[in-house]
Structure 1
Amino acid sequence: MTTKFKRFDFAAHLTDEDDIANYLEAVVAEGDPALTIAALSDIARARNMSKLARDAKLTREGLYRAMSPEGNPSFA
């Protein structure tokens, strides 16, 4: 018998500001930049990627690309 698993999506479980803050704090404490980028992507999806892109004056696609594992976001 084969067991099937669903991919866990953190964004679906980040329902309030406390969840987001705790998640980001735990990820940053790990010290892994790639993990931090992945967490920021999860948070952006949880908070509405399209609205975030508009607020940042980026395209939605550009924001997804920056937050992808192959992306290279800059922090100023």
Structure 2
Amino acid sequence: MARSGNMSELARRVGMSRDGLYRALSENGNPTWSTVLKVTRALGIRLEPHRDHELV
């Protein structure tokens, strides 16, 4: 998703460098939970946890 848009603008919204954001979101990246939340918010995505009824 992030790659389809302007990574420089996304990085600015998230408060990271463009290179740092690329590294965090790369295949071998290991972004922190706070980075994931900042990116989803910047993209206008809301995460909602739901119980998996098959596991309960």
Instruction: Give the TM-score range, shorter chain.
Output: 0.5 to 0.7
The answer on 1:74 being equivalent to 2:35 is no
Alpha-carbon distance between aligned partners in 2 of 1:47 and 1:59, rounded to the nearest angstrom: 16
Ranges in structure 2 where 5+ consecutive residues have no aligned partner: 35-56
Alpha-carbon distance between aligned partners in 2 of 1:59 and 1:65, rounded to the nearest angstrom: 10
Q: Counterparts of 1:1-76 in structure 2 under 5 Å?
A: 43-76=1-34
Alpha-carbon distance between aligned partners in 2 of 1:67 and 1:45, rounded to the nearest angstrom: 10
Question: How many corresponding residue pairs?
Answer: 34
Ranges in structure 1 where 5+ consecutive residues have no aligned partner: 1-42
Moved over 4 A (4+): none
Higher helix share: 1
Compute the RMSD of aligned alpha carbons.
1.0
Equivalent position amino acid for 1:62 in 2: G
TM-score by length of 1: 0.41
Deviations along 1:34-64, whole A, 9 cap, x unmatched?
A: xxxxxxxxx1111211100001110000000
**Among the aligned pairs, what percent are the same residue?**
53
